[in-house]
Structures are given as structure tokens and as C-alpha cells.
Amino acid sequence: MDPELKKILEKQHYAIVGKHSGVKLCHWMRQSLLFKRECYKQTFYGIQSHRCLQMTPAISQCTHVCLYCWRFQGFTEKELKEEDEPEHILDKAIAAQRRLITGFKGDSRCDQKKWKEANKPTMLACSLSGEPTLYSKLGGLFETCHKRGITTFLVTNGTTPKNLERLDPLPKQLYVSVVAPNEKVYKKICSPLIPNGWEKLNQTLELLPSLDTRTVIRHTLVQNWNMDGKFIEEYKKLDSKASPMFVEPKGYVFVGYSRKRMNLLNMPSHKSVKDFGNKLGELMGYETIMEKPDSRVVLLGKPEKREINKLI
């Protein structure tokens, strides 16, 4: 890793793991340990916020430079040249997280039982930075997690359909980010580093129904960019290709490096996110199952998928 990039990331409290991976404590882990507040993934899917390992095996490699992204984007790498082994990454990632949470133990607000549990993650959120599917041994990482009783969630931007098709085993839950209703908006908001990203995203959506895992389409909604009412029909067509178990319309949040490219007015209210979700759900035949206003997110699903907490 470039020494200057490593220095910047460590200053932002990332723990660098090996040659190309990284760990960073999630905001909601802190909230869970100190204030007994849970993230929307716990509310929706039953994972435990304080036992979640937020990491990436491709910290500085991506195929997009999305305008709304809160991560540091001082990189243009689109591939991994030297790869660490999956077990090495997981062992070092868990060790790094343990170091990052050490200081919480001495905080009088910290739930000590939760702190002990947090040292033994039961959930791996492969979504921190970059595009995780660029790591060719990702299936091995998930296999290692599953053998240790660790649930796996993967978030992908959908530009590597061949990598997804080859992925074995699959994560327990697969998110595909669809942040644009059409190619014109896609090129503006995602700033793709590859020439055929929109085509590849559509290939991924067509692939999704054949994948034997829980699938979710996430729409990160940015006011004045990608959530105009006229776009809902186009989102419906894209989502229908994928036939996901769930759809998550989620509001953009004005934090991190995105503040260099966006402004506070780009952050939609929870009400506008919910209204968007209700309209999209009506078109797709999905219901609004749950919502979490403090995360500006709603969960849409087919009526028969209401008991989703039992799936984890």
C-alpha cells in the first residue's frame, strides 16, 4: 500500500490489515456499546451491532468514485496485484478490531457484557471501502467466516458480475447498490472508472435471481440527484430484473469526504425516503415492512417475507 495513503487512512482510524484490507469501527458499534442503540441491520435482520466486524479486503481498489461516498477516494486502482490469504485477513481483522475497541472497556457508559462479546465478532460486514469483489479469494474469506460461525454480508456496486457468478460460497446476504435509475444519472453520480459499468450492473441484476442467498437492492437516495419521482418507474424496472427478497431505499447522509462534493440540502428527510419507498413498493408489489428513522431507511419486501429476523 502506498505509504501516504496508509498514513491518511490510519489518521481516520482505519486499521490496515495486510497488503490491501482494512477495518474501521462502525458508528453503530459505539452506539450499541455506550448507549444501547442498535443499527438498522439489527432491527431489520437480527444481527448484533456490537459484534459486527466492518471491513474490506479491497481498501483502495474500486471501479467507482461515487460523489455521495463518505470514504477517502484518493485512489484509482481497479485491481489487486498481490493478495493475502483469507484466513490471514480474518485473523488480523479480528485482532485489529479488538485493539480498536480496547478503550471502551474503561468507559463508565460501556456495557461490559457487550464489550466482552464484541471481542468475538459474529457478523462480518464486507462493505467498508472499495469494491470487495475485486479480491479473487473472497469466497475463501466467506468460507472461513462460516466455519467459525460468523454471518457474512457483502455490499457490491454490481460492476463485477463474473466475479459474483464465480463466488463460492456466497455471503449469507448480498447487497447490490443501485444508485441511479438510468445510465445518464449513473455516469454523473457514480463517476465510473471503467467504460461499461452500467452494462455490467445490469448483468449483475439479471444474475441475482439465480443466486442461492438472501438478496437486497439498496438505493442510496440523494436529494436533487437520483430520487425525483419521475425516476421511480425506472428503478422499478431495474429492481424487477433482480427480483430481490428485499429493497432498501436509504437516505444519503452528509458526512465524511462526501461533504467536499455534496451539500446539506442533498440529504433527504426520512419522510421523503419513506414516501419514495412506498411508491416504489406499490409498483413492485412489495410492502413497507420496517423503517428506522434515525438511519433514514425503510425496508421493502414481499408480503411472505415479514418474519425476516428468523432468517439469521
Q: List pLDDT tens digits, range 116-135.
A: 999 999 999 999 889 999 99
> Measured between alpha carbons, how far is 298 from 187 in angstroms, rounded to an integer?
26
pLDDT in tens, 256-276: 888 999 999 999 999 999 999
For residue 312, pLDDT beyond 60? no
Bridge partners of residue 153, in order along the sequence:
125, 173
Contact predicate 59/128, CB 8 Å: yes
C-alpha to C-alpha distances, 153 to 41, 55, 209, 257, 271, nearest whole angstrom? 10, 11, 17, 24, 27
Task: Note the pLDDT of residue 307.
Answer: 54
Query: How does residue 82 score in pLDDT terms, banded at 50, 70 and 90?
Result: very high
Whole-structure pTM value: 0.94
Quickly name the fold that domain 3-311 has: TIM Barrel (3.20.20)
HSE on the CB side for 296, CA within 13 Å? 18
Give the confidence band of 78 by pLDDT, cuts at 50, 70, 90. Answer: confident
The predicted pLDDT at position 156 comes to 98
Angle, alpha carbons 263-38-120 (nearest 5°): 115
* Cα–Cα distance for residue pair 274/296, rounded to 1 Å: 8
Rounded to an integer, the average pLDDT of 13-34 is: 95
Cell readout for 167 is: 463466488
Mean pLDDT of 286-304: 93
Confidence label for 305 from pLDDT (cuts 50, 70 and 90): low
Cα gap 311→214, rounded to integer Å: 9
- 179 phi/psi in degrees, rounded to 5: -110, 10
Looking at every residue in the chain, the average pLDDT score rounds to 94
Residue 257 confidence (pLDDT): 83
Mean pLDDT of 166-194: 97
Q: Whose grid coordinates read 473472497?
A: 138
- Which amino acid would we find at residue 129? S
Q: How much is the pLDDT for 289?
A: 94
Percent of the chain with pLDDT over 90: 85
* Alpha-carbon gap, residue 287 to 277, rounded angstroms: 9
Question: Is the bond preceding residue 195 a cis peptide, omega within 30 degrees?
Answer: no
Domain ranges of the chain: 3-311
Burial 181-192 (b: 16+ CB within 10 A, else e): beeebbeebbeb
135 three-class SS: coil
Contacts of 230 (CB under 8 A, 6+ apart): none
